[in-house]
Copies of this chain bind each other. A is one copy, B any other.
Amino acid sequence: MQFELTTNILDSLILAIEEKNTAFLNKQLHDLYPQDIAIIINQLNLDQAAYLYEILDDDVAPIVLLELDDDKREELLATFSSKEIAEQIDNMDSDDAADVISELPKKIQEEVLSHIEDIDQASDIAELINFEEGTAGSLMAKELVSVYAHETVNACIEEIRKQTDNVDVMYAVYVLDTNERLIGMLSLKKLIISHPLAKIEEIYEPDIQFVKTNTSTEDVAEFMQKFDLVVLPVVDQLGRLVGRITIDDVMDVIKENSEENIQRMSGISDDVDSNDKLWRLSRARIPWLLVGLCGGIIGSRIIGSYEDQIKIHPEMAYFIPLIGAMGGNVGVQTSAIIVQGLANNTLLGDNIGSKLLKELGVGLINGLICSGLILSYAFLIEDWKLAATVSLALMTVILCASFLGTFVPLTLNRFKINPALATGPFVTTLNDIIGITIYFFMGHILYSFF
């Protein structure tokens, strides 16, 4: 069912491109969906990509363009004239066209708009590119079907005939009052099965959900998911219908957010993927590595301050990695659960105290199990003082990590900072330092006084 690009297929296509074997390429690409052709082009260098794009059918090319990676599309478009770009986006949905244009430099944007033949399309795009990134306005499309409440079903069907030239899939018909304000919707089903002379105002559904142009994309995504909506109308500040958002665009937002969160958790600070350039991949990772490096240096100073003790009791050093690793593991486990609860709204935002207690409870159970096991092990292998130090320190470290893993994301969330930031290297590094401090302090006490 699904196309899978292998190195074999890719190599044969590259060879054909180098040999300008258009017949072979057309044959190979003919059975593929535009989405699959985009996957191929993403793997080509610019010359190869431009050549392959050039030979695509006119109805396929714009879809391929939309499906390309952002970087590859930008590269490819840079080789086009403004007029050529205008031809590609003339038949796109207005939201897709606006997405493509908004990646271009301001000056080129104007040139491209001036070359678009369909005046309505050009003015729709011009309107859309002005909405701020991250708002409902930047996600919406202008293609929709609307009717006035005072019209009849027959007049409405006539109107739809006219309007649907621009609309590929029609999910609903929006109902407006005479001031263009959105007052409800009409299901197509209702339209099909109602009497031709019935008035729209008698059959429409006034209970309609909508967002404003300045609603954030995160709120739009949450809203559509919560109510299982496929399409959501967008109104301006006066309540006038200005566009609609479909679920596929929202899914892209959700996917990007989830990927960004996973990257945050993994200590990657920029939106990168594995096809990016070496230097970009390195740069995205170095900040958290430097944080880890600083954490490691602080750790070395703390251990360094117990130099005399290590000389007498070198066995203290054996369990340094265990204490650090366990603190990190517990911290990440705890914060992942809290971050997920916040994302799903299954946590009450103002209820930090009871969450802390619960996570400390989990920490207590797991801490008792782990420190019990390590106590038995270290008692058998080493002396009782070391065994006591390691197991007491481990217990304390696990409780501390449970506390931090709960407290840090809840606090970040309260200050409207993405709590996923707390789930990764930050919590791990902090727990590392705290763990070592506790471990050596306890060792110092036990070895000094007993």
Contact = CB atoms under 8 A, between A and B. Distances in A.
Contacts of A321: 295-296, 299-300, 303, 320-321, 324, 432, 436
A35 interface: yes
A169 interface: yes
Given A188-B188, A340-B259, A292 B167 contact: no
Contacts of A428: 325, 328-329
Contacts of A425: 329
Contacts of A178: none
A346 interface: yes
A338 B268 CA distance: 13
Contacts of A189: 160, 164, 167, 169-170
A23 interface: no
Interface stretch (A46-54, A99-107, A110-118, A350-358): A350-358
Contact of A300 (B265, B318, B346, B350): B318
Contact of A35 (B226, B279, B316): B226
A325 B432 contact: yes
Given A248-B228, A278-B362, A281-B362, A293 B326 contact: yes
Interface string A62-96: 00000001000000000000000000000000000
Contacts of A319: 296, 300
In the assembly, how many copies of this chain are there? 2
A301 B4 CA distance: 46
Interface in A182-218: 187-189, 191-193, 211, 215
Contact of A188 (B8, B192, B227, B361): B192
Given A170-B189, A278-B365, A296-B321, A33 B348 contact: no
Given A43-B348, A192-B192, A365 B282 contact: yes
A239 B191 CA distance: 31
Contacts of A293: 322, 326, 370, 373-374
Given A273-B341, A328-B428, A340-B259, A286 B320 contact: no
A365 B424 CA distance: 22
B266 A358 contact: no
A390 to B, nearest CB: 9
Contacts of A289: 326, 329-330, 333, 366, 369-370
Interface in A1-55: 1-2, 4-8, 10, 33, 35, 39, 42-43
A279 B366 CA distance: 10
A396 interface: no
B314 A6 contact: no
Nearest to A5: B348
A258 interface: yes
A257 to B, nearest CB: 10
Given A251-B225, A361-B278, A377-B297, A292 B348 contact: no
Given A262-B336, A285-B366, 15 more contacts: A5-B345, A33-B227, A157-B193, A266-B337, A272-B337, A273-B346, A274-B341, A274-B355, A281-B337, A286-B369, A289-B326, A289-B329, A296-B326, A296-B374, A310-B317
